[in-house]
């Protein structure tokens, strides 16, 4: 879903790294080749591009340095949300500059080897990337790594107070975060921001965008306190996420509510939740179990079970790769079969082969087998099994507090026309009379104004979170909390 992205088996044209906010440690390689150290000292930063297919290029940045005869290098691939990944086997041999990217936890066949002949003769190098038995034309141009333009990232001075806070969960994990408090006299209404799937920091950082910081900044400028926190095992938070499910994460949100009740700046009668993506499932679970949630905002939340969400997600994403009607029907059938409780490894093999065919990628049997093993492992994880089988309606129809649900028409991860009607129907079936639904034209899963809606596009868009969506959220919350609370 986010950053965290739930796209199961909907891989991009070439697999390098999964999205991960953690920064790996730099690897140092002791060398005695003075030609290499001289070359690195003169050519530390490069901007690269690999031509993956007729319509696809993958841009990256590499940086190299020398310290005490130790050469180190890192690669950043913004389109894959991968930053400062250490490089191995950095060498300069007979004029050919080379290095290897070894994605963490990946087999050798997934290693990416870069080679550039005649490296010492130009500031612009032409070479190759070799991975998965394929060779892709690649260029390097000397230059500093460009910084992505993110104009919505909040800048000081801030007309509110920010407090670094911590609290403890039911199983003694420490959750760290930031509580932003409006300058006006309190107590203030407050919201907890709930991240999407995967390991997220408190800003829900992805592709150098910080949507949760943008939301918190906007709300606290409009009189609403906001608590945003690092997920377990990320940033200042402790604990593990392995083998945990959305229901454990819901308990963590409950611990956040208990913490907020003790804060003098907070109006404990006006506490709400804002959940994005998987957070839009976690929020209703919490709200259905507690009486202290006064309102709920769902940002691209799910209204149907995970199997339906992921099936539609795969179809929508592969449509952008030129999938025809026959392939679409086969994809639906193979995905549903392979992800069902009775789905086998052989079913996954057939699905993955079909996905490679749709993407026009020729893969060896060994690579298909490796993907099947990874897919089977992912499918059997407690989180995935819970997501596949949980029906959001079971929790939505227990909620009677006001609910605002938003989604964009360019969301290819959680389709608006599949999920918003189901959310609305489930709430009304439970007797909820305070339901507001907004379908926002042109917005993607991250609430950016988009052209297509693909994951790769998130990094290319400068907008972090659409202002119209921000205003809808703040105006709605302000109206709700201005009313007398039960």
pLDDT digits (tens, 9 = 90+) for 194-208: 999 988 999 999 999
Domain that holds residue 33: 28-142
329 lies in a domain? yes
Q: What is the CATH number of the domain that holds 173?
A: 3.40.50.1820
Whether the predicted pLDDT of 3 surpasses 70: no
154 lies in a domain? no
Weakest-pLDDT range from 1-10, 101-110, 301-310, 384-393: 1-10
Q: What is the CATH number of the domain that holds 135?
A: 2.40.128
Residue 232 to residue 394: CA distance in whole angstroms: 26
End-to-end CA distance of the chain: 34
Q: Note the pTM of the prediction, 2 decimals.
A: 0.86
17 lies in a domain? no
Whether 272 and 341 share a structural domain: no
Q: What does the pLDDT read at residue 9?
A: 37
Q: Which of residues 95, 116, 142 is at a domain's end?
A: 142
Whether 164 and 265 share a structural domain: yes
Whether 105 and 124 share a structural domain: yes
Whether 293 and 341 share a structural domain: no
Whether 397 and 377 share a structural domain: no
Q: What does the pLDDT read at residue 186?
A: 86
Q: What does the pLDDT read at residue 33?
A: 63
State the total domains in the chain. 3
Q: How confident is the model at residue 486 (pLDDT cuts 50, 70, 90)?
A: low
* 411-434 confidence digits (pLDDT tens): 999 999 999 999 999 999 999 999
Q: Which of residues 385, 412, 427 is at a domain's end?
A: 385
Whether 452 and 319 share a structural domain: no
Q: What does the pLDDT read at residue 322?
A: 86
Q: What does the pLDDT read at residue 15?
A: 32
* Mean pLDDT of the 64-82 span: 85
Cα–Cα nearest to 187, from 224, 144, 227: 224
Whether 269 and 354 share a structural domain: no
Please give the mean pLDDT across all residues of the chain. Answer: 89
Q: How confident is the model at residue 16 (pLDDT cuts 50, 70, 90)?
A: very low
8 lies in a domain? no
Q: How many CB atoms lie within 10 A of CB 159?
A: 11
Whether 195 and 333 share a structural domain: no
13 lies in a domain? no
263 lies in a domain? yes
Q: What does the pLDDT read at residue 127?
A: 94
* 140-170 confidence digits (pLDDT tens): 998 877 788 999 999 999 999 999 999 999 9
Share of the chain above pLDDT 90, in %: 68
Instruction: Return all residues near 208 (Cβ < 8 A) that are at least 6 apart.
Output: 78, 148, 150, 459
Whether 179 and 272 share a structural domain: yes
Q: How confident is the model at residue 27 (pLDDT cuts 50, 70, 90)?
A: low
Q: How confident is the model at residue 485 (pLDDT cuts 50, 70, 90)?
A: low
Residue 486 to residue 288: CA distance in whole angstroms: 16
* Mean pLDDT of the 98-110 span: 81
376 lies in a domain? yes
* 277-314 confidence digits (pLDDT tens): 999 999 999 999 999 999 999 999 999 999 999 999 99
Residue 27 to residue 45: CA distance in whole angstroms: 17
Q: Kind of pairing, strands 82-86 and 403-408?
A: unpaired
Whether 184 and 231 share a structural domain: yes
Residue 310 to residue 279: CA distance in whole angstroms: 16
Q: Kind of pairing, strands 295-299 and 225-229?
A: unpaired
Q: Which of residues 142, 177, 204 is at a domain's end?
A: 142
Whether 321 and 364 share a structural domain: yes
* Mean pLDDT of the 26-54 span: 75
Residue found by looking up tokens 């201005």 in the block: 482
Whether 333 and 375 share a structural domain: yes
Whether the predicted pLDDT of 4 surpasses 70: no
* Mean pLDDT of the 31-50 span: 80
Residue 47 to residue 144: CA distance in whole angstroms: 7
Q: What does the pLDDT read at residue 198?
A: 87
* Mean pLDDT of the 97-118 span: 86
148 lies in a domain? no
Share of the chain above pLDDT 70, in %: 92
């Amino acid at each position: 879903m986010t950053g965290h992205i739930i796209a199961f088996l909907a891989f991009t044209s070439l697999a390098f790294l999964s999205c991960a906010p953690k920064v790996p440690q730099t690897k140092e390689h002791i060398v005695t080749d003075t030609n290499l150290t001289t070359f690195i000292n003169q050519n530390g930063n490069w901007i690269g591009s690999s031509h993956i297919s007729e319509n696809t290029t993958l841009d990256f940045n590499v940086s190299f340095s020398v310290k005490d005869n130790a050469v180190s290098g890192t690669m950043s691939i913004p389109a894959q949300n991968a930053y400062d990944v250490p490089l191995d086997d950095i060498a300069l041999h007979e004029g050919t500059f080379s290095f290897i990217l070894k994605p963490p936890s990946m087999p050798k066949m997934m290693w990416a080897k870069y080679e550039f002949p005649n490296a010492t003769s130009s500031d612009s190098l032409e070479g190759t990337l070799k991975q998965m038995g394929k060779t892709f034309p690649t260029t390097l141009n000397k230059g500093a790594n460009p910084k992505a333009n993110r104009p919505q990232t909040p800048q000081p001075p801030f007309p509110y107070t920010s407090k670094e806070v911590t609290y403890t969960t039911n199983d003694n994990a420490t959750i760290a975060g930031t509580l932003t408090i409006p300058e006006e006299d309190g107590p203030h209404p407050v919201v907890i921001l709930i991240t999407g799937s995967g390991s997220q920091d408190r800003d829900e950082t992805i592709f150098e965008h910080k949507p949760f910081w943008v939301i918190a900044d906007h709300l606290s400028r409009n009189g609403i306190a906001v608590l945003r926190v690092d997920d377990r095992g990320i940033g200042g938070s402790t604990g593990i996420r392995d083998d945990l499910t959305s229901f454990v994460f819901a308990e963590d949100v409950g611990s956040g509510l208990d913490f907020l009740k003790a804060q003098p700046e907070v109006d404990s009668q006006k506490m709400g939740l804002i959940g994005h993506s998987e957070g839009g499932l976690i929020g209703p679970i919490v709200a259905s179990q507690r009486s202290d949630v006064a309102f709920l905002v769902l940002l691209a939340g799910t209204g149907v079970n995970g199997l339906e969400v992921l099936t539609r997600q795969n179809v929508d994403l592969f449509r952008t790769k030129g999938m025809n009607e026959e392939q679409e029907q086969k994809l639906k059938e193979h995905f549903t079969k392979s992800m069902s409780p009775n789905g086998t490894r052989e079913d996954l093999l057939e699905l993955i082969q079909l996905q490679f065919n749709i993407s026009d990628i020729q893969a060896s049997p060994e690579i298909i087998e490796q993907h099947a093993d990874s897919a089977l492992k992912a499918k059997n994880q407690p989180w995935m099994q819970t997501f596949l089988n949980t029906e959001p309606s079971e929790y939505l129809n227990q909620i009677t507090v006001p609910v605002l649900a938003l989604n964009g028409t360019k969301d290819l991860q959680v389709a608006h026309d599949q999920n918003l009607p189901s959310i609305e129907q489930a709430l009304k079936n439970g007797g909820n009379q305070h339901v507001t639904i907004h379908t926002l034209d042109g917005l993607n899963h991250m609430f950016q104004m988009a052209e297509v809606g693909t994951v790769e596009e998130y990094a290319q868009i400068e907008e972090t979170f659409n202002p119209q969506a921000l205003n809808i959220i703040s105006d709605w919350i302000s109206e709700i909390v201005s009313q007398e609370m039960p």
